[in-house]
Structure 1
């Protein structure tokens, strides 16, 4: 799964990297982004076909949900089931997005009581990178207000990330962004083919401070490598 990540690249850098147009949201760096937070997401406008950047809440709420309380359970969507699972199949067809990130975190179990967190990222010199995501709009029946949410697609781990977890988020290279966003006409089989493990030789992993385990901690040194105890 992917339950914590960092996105600290400046908003204007995100916009330039992804070719975003229009007004940019105000967003402070997140070194420990967590579920149910408002985080930057790139989508393609259905009419203008331009890429936009907006803050959506992490944890997808399906359009047919009676309430939003189950969002924390929908922070990830398994690549193997998104084309058919009721919670995700509509978004997979029509509402795919990119979730910019600088690195993500996983925890390696050392013994019965201890886990060591690791940061994971790509070897690319251009940042941020992009998770494959799905987004949804849900209308609160009690207030008639719209809530826009997203989930991150996961797949099997590659040889590097498998050291700490058997799943990893789908990381899309720039060459796949247009297809995933629906800007290029591609079929379901081609989309499924994009949801594969990121190349191990382009993946890096390093131990970080255990303070990242507490969502209240959100500071720059959390992404810095340490010597694990």
Structure 2
């Protein structure tokens, strides 16, 4: 009954949008207008709300929609610390006694990749490439790259600088109340690294100004996106990608 009322409401204005005859069916005018039926739009909005609030672990095909970490699973507010980052001046020198990990991500020609370039002094000692599902966003890939850098720092004790040209990703990490799963995991890694007595610093660097490590990470990320053939290291659909995660019936 409710669906019939919604259809009756929608049919009138969609017919005016496409300037068709009053006898045209609702399905045909919706198709011409490129508009979702109201009942599906309501379901979509409800699903997005549930995912954002962490109430849903919706699976679409072989993909999982990225969900926020439930607030009660986070560290108690009294124990949270801000994860600060520093804006580094162009080409400023970093201490040679600390290992520098440059991170970057790329979404190019519909493919997505991330990379890490690890430097000990003036020498690149190691690189790592990561592959993401094509539905992932640049924001996700930048967060994944930083997260991977914290994993390396946690696995191999030492003092580290992590350098990224994504201020949005670093700002997410700096917000102790943000519940993005990649940011939350990175913050936990950073706390564990500091607890054992090691140093880990986060830096924002300006892209494409001649910083060797950053340029190297950028080239590796593009190469990972275009050429890396492997199962994605991260394939959760962002909530913002509706066709990827919310309305599979419309993808035929």
Q: Which has the higher contact order (CA 8 A, sep 6+)?
A: 2
- Structure 2 length-normalised TM: 0.23
- Structure 1 length-normalised TM: 0.24
Question: Larger % of helix: which?
Answer: 2
Question: Larger % of strand: which?
Answer: 1
